[in-house]
Structure 1
Amino acid sequence: MKKNKIVVIGSINMDLVMRVPYIPNIGETIMGKSVERIPGGKGANQAFTAAKLGANVSMLGKIGGDEFGARLIESMQNAGVDTSCIDLEADASSGLAIIQVNDEGDNSIVVLSGANELCNKSYIIAHENVIGEAGIVIVQMEVPNEAVYQAIELASKSDAIMILNPAPAPDYIPDHVLEKIDYLVPNETELQKLTGMPVHSIETAGTASRTLLSKGLKNMIVTLGSKGSLLVNSDGIVHFPAPNVQAIDTTAAGDSFVAAFAVGLSEGKSDKDAIAFATKVAAIVVTRAGAQTSIPDRREVDAAT
């Protein structure tokens, strides 16, 4: 059924994850502890998470003709993602993310786009039928803006619920695009960049969110790390605290939250109940290392207190 189908459009990367005692300063050399290659990319992580949580998921994106491409596809397929519409760009490299994770579980990430940069407007238009089958469409911003905005336009035409995770955040999102988004889900840093306003607390996050609502955005969900998240809309502001857990690696926390929120909506949950479900999933993810390797399945989530 269309209502339950989730389509994720976005990046597919191999994550090169380096464990370090702390994030080095400019010009500083430190010794790392370990390195792993883990399938990732915001789009792939979100599709992977949604599928592991039991959703019907299709992924749109591109991989390169290098050694990573097949492994990236295999990882998503193993989770249950329909990868049949992912394009192979034989002459390009697959996306690569270089991630440093410190002893507190915080990270610093550099992304090399590779084939993701070729995920353009024409590719999105060529898969309009896939988007038209979706009840929910999720996009992020590790593919070109023209593809993101085209996907939002097509989702709007088909009456799908449109979720934009503006990561990495652009300097602004045009008003005519904001009006077509049902849920914008930035973190504090992304919200600050989008609005040009300081975001360092629950109160300032709410204030900054209202500036985007005034431009036609329907709902804002701001993820605040250990402080939880906010739902901001015309009804007001609701704060969802995060459970107290020992974070090991926050790499896929935001991606898992967005995907789990979409899964909740696809199952008929209210947005508040879907946020509570997403909070539960993200709290598990941060206690584990890696991106897709940290994602729980539905039984684990349902069994968690």
Structure 2
Amino acid sequence: MYDVLVVGSANADLTVRVARRPGAGETVLGTDLMESAGGKGANQAAAAARIGGRTALLARVGGDAYGELLLAAQRAAGTDVAPVIVDEHARTGTAMIIVDPDGDNSIVVSPGANAALTPDDVAAAKGVIAASAVVSLQLEIPLETVRAAAAAAEEAGTRVVLNPSPAPEDLDRELLAVADPLVVNEHEARALSGRADGTPTDWAAALRERGARSVVVTLGGDGALVLDDSGTTAVPGVRVEAVDTTGAGDAFTGALATRLAGGATLPEAARFAVRVGAAAVTKPGAQPSYPTAEELAQLPQLP
């Protein structure tokens, strides 16, 4: 029924661009506030849907204007929002984002309705999980809900893509054991592997030794590193002029999950996902920057 079911967060992104990020106790002027759809779960769903994946989202939003904004954005991307729960008694999650001239960002998230997504919500969606080729998970919702979704996917024989972001101090073996792959950026890979030094290859190997079935380390403009049963594969990056890196990792993960659902190997899926992530940083915002298949075709092919 679905290529990808994303179980995760949905936030309204409130973005301001600044000449430089303020220090402690400092005030700087920024541009006009831009309101757009975001949240790691909703971002991954939108990225998967925009490139043609049959995608559904299980999330909670509030019964407010931001909730309507998020639902409208998912529908526009092509996501099935039937599993989304509208909580009339909660405020929709929000993310406050500051972007500097280099496109780098600082983000503060207020979870709102995301914090109320429960294991019972997952249990009610077991049929949707079983009807999906891949379930994509992140950590902007309660950990017990992530565990419940991972367990339901494992029971149904549905592949789990786990992006442990925001990175916890430690990731339990129960979740690592179902991650196929575990998708981490360099900071997350270093922290979760327990190795302050080393290389992406070292971090990926350490994470696989800790229980992950396979690992993808995203490297920004330098591409990605993949470790699975076939060995280690370095995927080159696509050189583009970065405008805003917000949500680029989610674009990568959504694209990766979509290609895996279609039967691609992990290295093949990562090569495709690198191009989607590169396209995403060339425009401002998270979901508004995600490419369609037609827009992606305009990017240079990887060597």
CA distance in 2, matches of 1:125, 1:286: 36
Q: Equivalences for 1:6-155 in 2 at 5 Å?
A: 6-155=4-153
Shift of 1:262: 1.2
User: Within the alignment, does 1:243 sit opposite 2:238 as a pair?
Assistant: yes
Q: Show the counterpart of 1:156.
A: 154
**1:267 corresponds to which residue?**
262
| In 2: Cα distance, 1:204 partner to 1:284 partner | 26
**Equivalent residues of 1:107, 1:251 under 8 A apart:** yes
2:208 to 213, 220, 224: 213
Question: Hey, what's the Cα distance between the residues in 1 that align with 2:99 and 2:232?
Answer: 32
Whether the aligned pair in 2 keeps the contact of 1:53 and 1:260 (CA below 8 Å) is yes
Deviation at 1:268, TM superposition (A): 2.2
Q: Percent identity?
A: 37
User: What displacement does 1:107 show?
Assistant: 0.4
Q: 1:188 aligns with which of 164, 182, 186?
A: 186
State the Cα RMSD in Å: 1.3
Q: Which residue of structure 2 lines up, in the alignment, with residue 253 of structure 1? A: 248
The count of aligned residue pairs is 300
Distance 1:176 1:247 in 2: 37
Letter in 1 for 2:156: S
Counterpart CA distance in 2 for 1:285 and 1:303 is 13
The answer as to 2:280 corresponding to 1:285 is yes
Residue of structure 1 in register with 2:223 after alignment? 228
TM-score, normalization by structure 2: 0.95
| Counterpart-to-counterpart distance in 2, 1:222 and 1:176 | 20
Question: Aligned with 1:98: secondary structure?
Answer: strand
Contact 2:228–2:266 at 8 Å: present in 1 too? no
Indicate the SS of the match to 1:70. helix
Give the letter aligned to residue 251 of structure 2: S
Following the alignment from structure 2 to structure 1, what is the Cα–Cα distance between the partners of residues 176 and 27? 42
- Indicate if the aligned counterparts of 2:3 and 2:262 stay in contact, CA closer than 8 A: no
Measured against aligned partners, the alpha-carbon deviations of 1:18-75 in whole angstroms (never above 9, x if no partner) come to 1011222222211112320011111001101111100111100000122211111011
**In structure 2, distance between residues paired with 1:270 and 1:235:** 10
CA distance in 1, matches of 2:281, 2:179: 28
Cα offsets for 1:166-201 (capped at 9, x unmatched): 1101111211321111100011111222223226xx
**Deviation (angstroms), 1:89:** 1.1
Contact 2:139 2:146 in 1 (8 A): yes
Question: What SS does the aligned partner of 2:184 have?
Answer: coil
Q: What secondary structure sits across from 1:185 in the alignment? A: strand
2-side partners of 1:116 and 1:218: how far apart?
28
Structure 1: unaligned runs, 5 residues or longer = none
